[in-house]
Chains A and B, each alone.
Chain A
Amino acid sequence: MNWKFSTVVELLDRAREAGLSLPAYLLARESFYSGKGEDELRAELARRIRVTKTALDRGIREPQRSFSSMTDGGAAKLAHGEAWPVEDELFRRALAYSLSINEVNACGGKVIAFPTAGSCGVAPGLLWAYRDARDPSLGPDSPRFQDAFVVASAVGMLIALRATLAGSAGGCQAECGAAAAMAAAGLAFLLGEEPEGCFDAAALSLKNCLGLACDPVAGLVEVPCAKRNAFMAANALTAVCLRRAGISSVIPFDEVVGAMKAIGDAMPAAIRESAEGGLAATPTGMSFRAKIQ
């Protein structure tokens, strides 16, 4: 079996050559490299999916307040607030869940870096929102739900292989942007899209995060990171809505990743996680920095 790929085109070819679905191919590959059986890997996926759920519930139940005071129980407000302008259960849950997981992270709770800690709320938040709002038969132990996380991971792997997942190297497009693309692919999968459709949704989503600055206030994973997790869940949901309406990305996923790499390389260091530019350099940003140091 050939386990090497660096583009969607190659990845889908490998799966086809192997006569396996995309998630089955990726699990077989994981099994090859880790030496673990598929049952053991699925149990590990279920365990990690449960960690995302525990974080999600915690942030909504207990308002999360951070040491810096910049994180202040936003997810709990979002989940329980009465003034709510959009009549859609999926949308509201997606925002609240994604924010919740990232607030728990900001406050030192347990999460899964997916692909990083600063962007860990987006994909699990959106996938759990779909589960709770639309399909309660899904859960950590259902192979289809696990496969959605696998498809989302495939998007992250491809970005890691040809660009980067580090804000210090590629700005926030590499973290929350990647997470949005991953979330879009995962949700598209749950809605029955073929792998091509999942990567198309990922391309739509990622295109709309290109050039995003990583300018964390005081160098902490809070502002703008935590709320951006909610915004990116909305981005991913928009991408999936477009895809389901039959709208495709003019620029294919592999080329969007290439563009992301080129843009990341051209970004000044001040907006690549150095906490020296952008929001971090605003008067309010600087006052938070002075306060915590």
Chain B
Amino acid sequence: MSERTITLLDIFGPVMIGPSSSHTAGVARIAFMARKIFPYPLDRAKVSFHGSLAKTYKGHGSDKAAVAGLLGILPEDERLGYALELAEREGLSYEIVAVADGPERYHPNTAVIELWSGDKSIRIRGASIGGGEIRLQSVGGFEANLDGSLDAILVLHKDEIGVIAIVSHILAASRFNIASVASHRKDKGDEALLVVEVDGVVPSSIVAQIRDLPSVREVVYVPSIRA
């Protein structure tokens, strides 16, 4: 992951529903991205707040923010304010948990999102690092470092030789510039997660080419959250 560039609209932004860029906007962004990574109809969701979020989530509306994100609502959308009512109307089954003493290695402002759909499930851990900026640090058991500043392609594949090279080739052949590549595996020969951040928006036809590769199990496209 390359050092992030600070831009004008990062400072004069984000547009957000108050009161806290880290405890409201950041949390909504973490849940929003979690939903992009796990885009299936939800049976249920669990949001666990750690650290400062566990202590102050009610006053900051972090619970509303997390539910808003799960409903696909971004920090600047006024619907964030009544996300709990919307969730009830849409039949979203969710649980909010404050974890008093979570692992010390977690960032002081951490939200863990767990999602279930049929026989699928995922656990995503995100840190809200200030000013609405976030980092997804763990995705489905893999380490990660996603900040939503660029579009990203997540490729779950069998840990075999050449997958990174083929994915890079497919993107290069369509003139897409790769900003970063990170690969994480659970064990040698086991499953691996390839995270590729790109400049610009990759069309679904190219994402489909990656999905069709023999050792690829699943591909999700996660658009940038930067306005």
A residues apposed to B, CB below 8 Å: 3, 26-27, 29-30, 33-35, 41, 44-45, 47-48, 51, 67-68, 104-118, 120, 149-150, 152-154, 156-157, 160-161, 164-169, 218-222, 273-275, 292-293
Contacts and interface: CB of A to CB of B under 8 A. Distances in A.
A148 B144 CA distance: 38
Interface in B20-41: 20-25
B61 interface: yes
Contact of A105 (B11, B19, B109, B131): B19
B19 A221 contact: yes
A149 B19 contact: no
Contact of A273 (B10, B52, B61, B199): B52
Contact of A165 (B7, B14, B25, B130): B130
A220 B60 CA distance: 7
A157 B11 contact: yes
Contact of B17 (A109, A157, A164): A109
A109 B18 contact: yes
A3 B115 CA distance: 41
A156 B8 CA distance: 9
Q: Which of A106, A166, A293 has the most CB of B within 10 A?
A: A166
A30 B20 contact: no
Range, interface on chain B: 35 or more
B6 A107 contact: no
Contact of A114 (B12, B19, B81): B12
Interface string B26-68: 0000000000000000000000000010011011110000000
A44 B108 CA distance: 33
Contact of B8 (A111, A157, A164): A157
B130 A220 contact: no
Contact of B19 (A26, A117, A167, A168): A117
A292 B58 contact: yes
B20 A117 contact: yes
A206 B73 CA distance: 36
A106 B18 contact: yes
B11 A221 contact: no
Nearest to A23: B8
Interface of B: 5-25, 52, 55-56, 58-61, 76, 78, 81, 108-109, 129-132, 199-200, 226-227
Contacts of B20: 117-118, 221
A48 B19 contact: no
B59 A117 contact: no
A41 B81 CA distance: 28
Nearest to A165: B131
B176 to A, nearest CB: 12
Contacts of B199: 35
A-B pairs with lowest CB-CB distance, top 10 = A166-B130, A105-B18, A219-B56, A156-B11, A117-B21, A113-B21, A221-B19, A153-B11, A220-B59, A30-B8
A264 B213 CA distance: 50
14 contacts: A29-B8, A45-B12, A47-B15, A105-B18, A108-B18, A110-B15, A118-B20, A152-B12, A161-B6, A166-B22, A169-B130, A220-B59, A274-B52, A275-B56
Nearest to B77: A110
Contacts of B7: 29-30, 33-34, 157
A157 B11 CA distance: 7
Contacts of A108: 17-19, 24, 61, 81
A221 B52 CA distance: 13
Contacts of A29: 7-8
Contacts of A116: 21-22, 130-131
Given A117-B21, A157-B6, A168-B52, 16 more contacts: A51-B15, A104-B18, A108-B17, A108-B18, A112-B15, A113-B21, A115-B11, A117-B20, A117-B24, A117-B132, A118-B21, A153-B8, A166-B129, A166-B130, A169-B130, A221-B23
Contacts of B55: 219, 275
Contacts of B76: 110
Given A108-B18, A157-B11, A165-B131, A33 B5 contact: yes
A26 B8 contact: yes
A44 B167 CA distance: 34
Nearest to A152: B12
A27 B9 CA distance: 10
Given A220-B19, A292-B59, A150 B8 contact: yes
